């Protein structure tokens, strides 16, 4: 019981929750990206992927509930850590130093995280809680990206996701104990590769579908 209370109350416990849920999101993003890459192949391949996915039935519902649970933990813990950090440092530094592991990604993580939360709600309203024209998810995707505004919004959102993920990837391995100096360059490099994969992999879909680029 004490251990459970410690996870919710101590700083390391909160960081651990951020790391485990963050890892879950990285795995989800990779699976979601792999599925969505079929959009580059064409309508039929994408629809065949969607059909296989929906055939998983109750397993999908379990995964969705798991994602929602992770989202609630990640967002609420992130918000608590953000407020605690603000309180611990009420007076802003006159000079903002980026030394000591502080990067643009880490300093902006609460803000990019909030933007991603807004994006996820927007995205689910676009693609999840809708009637797909003709029962085909592809029709929803192509109708959405026929709008230049949506293409721009999605591409901007993917830049934000890439920045957040680039920092989060490195940070989660730090928290999970993979912080030996020997592995640091590998983890840093893997974080950059993952962020680029997510940024370009998702980010070029709107252009490709909407404008055939």
Select the residue interacting with ligand HEM from 49, 154, 173, 194 (CB under 6 A).
154
Give yes or no for residue 205 binding ligand HEM (CB under 6 A): yes
Distance between CA atoms of 7 and 175, rounded to whole angstroms? 13
Give yes or no for residue 170 binding ligand HEM (CB under 6 A): no
Element holding 122 (H helix, E strand): helix 104-127
> Of 4-12, 59-67, 106-114, 172-180, which part binds ligand HEM (CB under 6 A)?
59-67
Determine the length of the chain. Answer: 213
Backbone angles phi, psi at 94, to 5 degrees: -65, -40
Is the Cβ of residue 29 or residue 184 nearer to ligand HEM in the bound state? 29
Give yes or no for residue 50 binding ligand HEM (CB under 6 A): yes
Give yes or no for residue 162 binding ligand HEM (CB under 6 A): no
> Of 1-9, 104-112, 177-185, 198-206, which part binds ligand HEM (CB under 6 A)?
198-206
Angle between helices 137-144 and 43-54 (to 10 degrees): 130
On whether the CB atoms of residues 29 and 198 are closer than 8 A, the answer is yes
Looking at residues 62 to 121 of the shown chain, list those that interact with ligand HEM (rule: CB under 6 A): 64, 67, 116, 120
Select the residue interacting with ligand HEM from 137, 160, 162, 187 (CB under 6 A).
137
Select the residue interacting with ligand HEM from 18, 151, 161, 163 (CB under 6 A).
161
Closest distance to ligand HEM from the beta carbon of 161 (Å): 5
Give yes or no for residue 38 binding ligand HEM (CB under 6 A): no
What distances in angstroms separate CA 99 from CA 16, 71, 107, 173, 175, one per listed residue?
Answer: 24, 30, 12, 20, 19
Angle between helices 184-203 and 11-36 (to 10 degrees): 40
Select the residue interacting with ligand HEM from 141, 160, 172, 187 (CB under 6 A).
141
Q: Which of 157, 182, 184 is nearest to 173 (CA)?
A: 184
What distances in angstroms separate CA 197 from CA 26, 30, 53, 66, one per listed residue?
Answer: 12, 9, 22, 24
Q: Using CB under 6 A, list all residues that contact ligand HEM.
A: 32, 36, 50, 53, 60, 64, 67, 116, 120, 123-124, 127-128, 137, 141, 154, 161, 202, 205-206
């Amino acid at each position: 019981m004490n251990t459970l209370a410690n996870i919710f109350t101590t700083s390391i416990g909160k960081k651990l929750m951020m790391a485990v849920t963050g890892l879950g999101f990285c795995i989800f993003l990779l699976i979601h990206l792999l599925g969505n890459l079929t959009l580059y192949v064409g309508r039929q391949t994408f629809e065949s992927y969607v059909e296989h996915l929906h055939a998983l039935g109750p397993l999908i519902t379990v995964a969705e509930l798991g994602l929602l649970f992770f989202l609630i933990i990640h967002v609420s813990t992130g918000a608590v850590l953000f407020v605690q950090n603000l309180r611990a440092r009420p007076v802003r530094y006159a000079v903002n130093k980026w030394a000591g592991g502080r990067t643009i990604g880490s300093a902006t993580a609460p803000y990019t995280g909030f933007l991603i939360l807004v994006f996820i709600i927007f995205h689910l309203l676009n693609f999840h809680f809708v009637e797909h024209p003709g029962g085909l998810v592809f029709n929803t995707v192509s109708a959405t990206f026929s709008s230049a505004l949506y293409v721009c919004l999605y591409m901007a959102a993917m830049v934000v996701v890439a920045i957040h993920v680039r920092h989060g990837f490195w940070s989660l391995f730090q928290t999970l104990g993979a912080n030996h100096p020997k592995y640091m360059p590998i983890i840093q490099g893997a974080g950059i590769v993952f962020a680029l994969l997510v940024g370009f992999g998702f980010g070029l879909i709107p252009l490709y579908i909407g404008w055939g680029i």
